[in-house]
Amino acid sequence: EGVGPQEYTAIKSQVIEWSPAAKEIVESKIGGRKVYMVAATLRPETMYGQTNCFVGTSIKYGIFAVNDQEAYLITYRAARNMTFQGVNEPRGSIEQLVEIEGAKLVGTKINAPFSVNPEIYVLPMDNVLATKGTGVVTSVPSDSPHDYATLMDLRKKAEYYKIDPAWASIDPVPVISTPTYGDLTAPAIVKQLKIQSQKDVKQLEDAKEIAYKEGFYNGTMLVGEFKGQSVQDAKGKVRDSMIQAGLAFAYAE
């Protein structure tokens, strides 16, 4: 991370069905609004390969009114940043409808805009930072080593993580081809570096660097509107296309 502001793409995933624990807390308080979990990403071009969404189990989230029709599920910190970036009116105002901890969101079914898998589940991830982005991380295991390692942990130890194995059953989707690692860059790098789990923090940082550079400089899109184009060309176009469709917006911090 540099010294300047980080430019994210905020991805809007509408809640389709709350987990039982969330349903109890949420439904009477949202005034009929559509609720979106909003994830901050640096790789909008990978959104075709979303397979699930991660939250931190001990992170506190809120549901914040955007207007009478919509609300966003994010951290309070992100809601405060967003109101100063024109997400709601008046600027600087925050209307929190619900407070809920991450653990209760696990098992919630949401839609995944642009993904070849349009319905995905919320799952726990160990190292979600409350102090970065929205606290919601969309998972693209084909291209993110952290996401892939976490998905493998969840599959191996579903009981320990208190999840239904069915929620982690979507396989990584080929989205970008790279000359060195093929159609599933993150799984290939995780294997090469012998990464065993999301707890291998140091190696995952290395893997993240390698995957990011390889995808950005040498990757070619395998799916979507910009199939066949380089990632460098497609990245901004996918972002613009999602924003045009009302499925994403710019978010900086």
The one segment of 96-104, 110-118, 131-139, 224-232 that binds ligand A2H by CB under 6 A: 131-139
Q: Distance between CA 185 and CA 141 in Å, rounded?
A: 9
Are the C-beta atoms of residues 52 and 16 closer than 8 Å to each other? Answer: no
DSSP conformation letters of 148-206: HHHHHHHHHTTTTTT--GGGG-PPP---EEBTTTBT-HHHHHHHHTT--STT-HHHHHH
Which residues, numbered 191-220, are part of the site for ligand A2H (CB under 6 A)? 208, 212
Q: How far is the CB of 182 from ligand A2H (least distance, A)?
A: 16
Position among 17, 27, 94, 129 found at the interface with ligand A2H (CB under 6 A): 129
What residues have CB less than 8 Å from 192, skipping those under 6 apart? none
**Closer CB to ligand A2H, 69 or 232, in the complex:** 232
The residue nearest ligand A2H at its CB is: 133
Q: Give phi and psi for 68, each to the nearest 5.
A: -75, -20
User: Which of 6, 58, 67, 192 is close enough to bind ligand A2H by CB under 6 A?
Assistant: 6
- CA torsion through residues 218, 200, 132, 101, sign: positive
Show contacts with ligand A2H in window 11-40 (CB under 6 A). Answer: 40
For residue 253 the two structure tokens come to 């911090």
Peptide bond preceding 90 in cis form (omega within 30 of 0): yes
Among 88, 111, 138, 150, binds ligand A2H (CB under 6 A): 138
Contacts with ligand A2H, 62-101, as mask; x by CB under 6 A: ----------------------------------------
Pairing verdict, β 34-41 and 70-74: parallel
Instruction: Give the number of residues in contact with ligand A2H, rule: CB under 6 A.
Output: 21
Q: Is 185 in the site for ligand A2H (CB under 6 A)?
A: no
* Chain residues in the site for ligand A2H (CB under 6 A): 1, 6, 40-43, 46, 128-129, 132-133, 135, 137-140, 143-144, 147, 208, 212
